[in-house]
Amino acid sequence: MMKKFSILIVMLIITASFVLAVTPRHWEGNPTCADVGYTDSFYKIDPPIPGSYTFNGIHIYTWIADDDLIYFNWTSTYSLDAVICKGGNDANVYDYDPASFGDNDLHCPVNPSGGPAEISHILICYNGGNEIPEFTTIGAALALAGAGLYIFKKRNRG
C-alpha cells in the first residue's frame, strides 16, 4: 500500500510539473522587473554564473545552467513571481501565477539562427511571497490526501 501511495505522489508531482509549465512572454529590449509589472523587489544575476545566491540575507536561489549558458533551471526557498532571461536583443519573461519555488529549461528568445540566445543576465522578480512550508505542513497535507484516497477507494469497492 505504501509503495503504491509513493508512486502516486511521484506521478502527481511529475504531472504537475508538465501542467504548470510556463510559456514565456517575449519582451523587446532590456526590461526591468518594474517594466513587466513587479515593483516590490528584484535581484540581478550578472554575469549568469551557475551557483547559489543569497538575497536580502534569507532567500537562497540555486541556478543551474548548461555549459553554453543557453538553458537554466532554478529553485528557491521563497516563491517568485517572475524570472526574466535576457539574451541577444530581447528577453523572455517567465510569469508565475501562483508564485513558484522553481522551474526548468528556461532560455532567452530564439535568435534568427534558430536557437535561443546565450544568457546575458537574469532578473528575479517578486511582489511579496512565501517561504517553503515546513515539512510538518506538507506531511499533514499528504497524510490527509492519502486518508481521503483510502476512504474513497474503500467506499467504491463495496
* 42 lies in some domain: yes
SS3 state at 48: coil
* 40 lies in some domain: yes
pTM: 0.69
Query: Which amino acid is it at 15?
Result: T
For the cut 80, the answer to whether the pLDDT of residue 3 exceeds it is: no
End-to-end CA distance of the chain: 18
CA 71 to mean position of chain CA atoms: 13
* 1 lies in some domain: no
Name the grid cell of 95: 510569469
Which domain covers residue 112, as residue numbers?
20-133
pLDDT digits (tens, 9 = 90+) for 125-155: 987 655 555 444 454 455 555 555 555 555 6
Distances (CA, A) of 118 to 35, 58, 110, 136: 22, 29, 10, 41
Assess contact for 125 and 84: CB atoms under 8 A: yes
Q: Which residue, chain included where needed, has cell 510559456?
A: 23
* 6 lies in some domain: no
Q: Which of 113, 33, 127, 26 minimizes the C-alpha distance to 81?
A: 127
Residue 151 and residue 143: Cα distance in Å, rounded?
12
* 141 lies in some domain: no
Mean pLDDT of 106-110: 96
Q: Phi first, then psi: give them for residue 66, nearest 5 degrees.
A: -75, 170
Q: Give the residue, 29 or 51, on which the prediction is more confident.
A: 29
Beta bridge partners of 99: none
Into how many domains does the chain fold? Answer: 1
